[in-house]
Amino acid sequence: VTALVSEIGQNATANGTATVTGGGSTWTQTDRVVVGEFGDGALDINAGGKVISANGFIGRYAGSTGQTTISGADSAWNMTGILLVGGDVGAAGGEAQLTVSAGGKADVSDTVVVWQPGTITLDGGEVEALTATNYGKLSGSGLWDVNNTTSTGTIAPGLSAGKLTLDGTLSLGAASTVEIEIYGSTAETQYDVLEIVGTAALAGTLAVDVDGGFTPAEAEAFGVVTFADDGGSEFDAYTGLGLDDGRALIPVYDSTALLLVASYFGDGNFDGVVDGLDYLIWAEHFDSDPSDPSGAAGGDFNGDGKTDGLDYLVWAGNFEQSIFAPIATTVPEPSALLMTCMGTITLYARPRRRRIATT
């Protein structure tokens, strides 16, 4: 089929569906395909079917709804121009969802724009483009083959857990969010990974969701974001770093990855801040063997089953750190009594960890 323009769900009261299925089935538009112009539209490309157009719009104008699915090997929507998901040129529009799965592909010669509340979900599929701007949501597991991506919206790797590969550069804005789920110790199947093949300019918020039934081992590391180079950039804020047992996931950056490392934190009252109130908990239970109550609630900040001077070192080393906001600065001077209590303790070097910086 060949035509100039096709608008599925053109009028406000319209509700239309188009399906292109099977190898050899090709729908060619010399101008644009619109899925949800003012009304509701759906486009299903599967089993090797192909749509070819200059430009593509999904949920073009406010009040519309657009739903597009590209599924199966060799299934594709090829665009020689642009793809706009959830809006028009220069303005957000209606509700829009593009799902690319099981070997399907959206191939865009120019740029992709995902407006809020537009969403692109990959489930073993691929999107290829020259550039992309994300104001909405990019999620799932698959290949985002775009030279340069800018995001002030949400990027959520995985469907439950998985890996989203961005084959290009990524620049995050201050309003952006990267969502990571952690359900276990195995990358891609039990926790999410965002792989950036090119350079990354990190900013915005890393939002972490740790399943309550999973307890990471001490010092267990989760490589949740990888990149060729981050240029020294970091996320501005973190949420969800606190663990149920009083420990925290500490963000540690190296040259090619952001690791979240499970570590004792010195937070005895589980308020997310290491401060004098936690010192009082330690002091109250000092010299308890075993600690009672157990764990951080009883001042046992290093998890060895007793409350002693080594736990003070954990508390002091994290003093005025927070999983919510950067506070501080100095390690407090221990009292004369504390100095006496610690007189027989051999100090040890703590590994250097990056300070938590959050909102």
In the structure, what pLDDT confidence band is assigned to residue 244 with cuts at 50, 70 and 90? Answer: confident
In the block, residue with structure tokens 């789920």: 181
pLDDT of residue 227: 98
**37 Rama sector, left if φ>0, alpha if ψ -120 to 50, beta otherwise:** alpha
> Mean per-residue pLDDT for 248-275?
88
Comparing C-alpha atoms, which of 221, 222, 220, 264 is closest to residue 246?
264
Q: Which residues contact 339 (CB under 8 A, 6 or more apart)?
A: none
- Round to whole Å and give the CA distance between 215 and 210: 9
For 66-102, what is each residue's pLDDT tens digit? 999 999 999 999 999 999 999 999 999 999 999 999 9
String of DSSP letters for 163-193: EEEE-SEEEE-TT-EEEEEE-SSSBTTTB-E
Query: Quick check: helix, strand or coil at residue 336?
Result: helix
Exposure string over 160-175, b if 16+ CB within 10 A, otherwise e: ebbbbbbbbbbbbeee
String of DSSP letters for 257-318: EEEEEEE----TT-SSB-SHHHHHHHHHTTTBSS-SS-GGGGT--SSSSSBSHHHHHHHHHT
- Round to whole Å and give the CA distance between 162 and 192: 5
- The rounded mean pLDDT for the chain is 89
> Mean per-residue pLDDT for 225-231?
97
Any alpha helices (H) in the chain, and if so which ranges? Answer: 276-284, 309-317, 336-341
For 10-37, what is each residue's pLDDT tens digit? 999 999 999 999 999 999 999 999 999 9
- Torsion 101-158-191-150 (CA) sign: positive
pLDDT of residue 306: 93
The CA-based angle 336-342-343, given to 5 degrees, is: 90
Is residue 183 scored above 60 in pLDDT? Answer: yes
pLDDT of residue 3: 61
Is residue 169 scored above 80 in pLDDT? Answer: yes
- Round to whole Å and give the CA distance between 5 and 77: 15
Q: Which residues contact 257 (CB under 8 A, 6 or more apart)?
A: 223, 225, 226, 227
Q: How do the domains of the chain map onto residue ranges?
A: 1-151, 159-263, 276-341
- Round to whole Å and give the CA distance between 317 and 341: 18
pLDDT of residue 324: 60
Is residue 341 scored above 70 in pLDDT? Answer: no
Is residue 236 scored above 50 in pLDDT? Answer: yes
For 199-215, what is each residue's pLDDT tens digit? 999 999 999 999 988 99
State both tokens at 349: 């070097």
Comparing C-alpha atoms, which of 85, 209, 206, 181 is closest to residue 137?
85
Q: Which residues contact 195 (CB under 8 A, 6 or more apart)?
A: 163, 164, 165, 166, 226
Strands 200-201 and 237-239, by their bridges, are unpaired
Is residue 180 scored above 90 in pLDDT? Answer: yes
CA distances from 58 to 55, 98, 176, 196, 346 (A): 10, 8, 22, 26, 65
For 282-335, what is each residue's pLDDT tens digit? 999 999 988 888 888 899 988 888 999 999 999 998 898 877 644 444 455 555
Is residue 134 scored above 50 in pLDDT? Answer: yes
In the structure, what pLDDT confidence band is assigned to residue 270 with cuts at 50, 70 and 90? Answer: confident
pLDDT of residue 248: 87
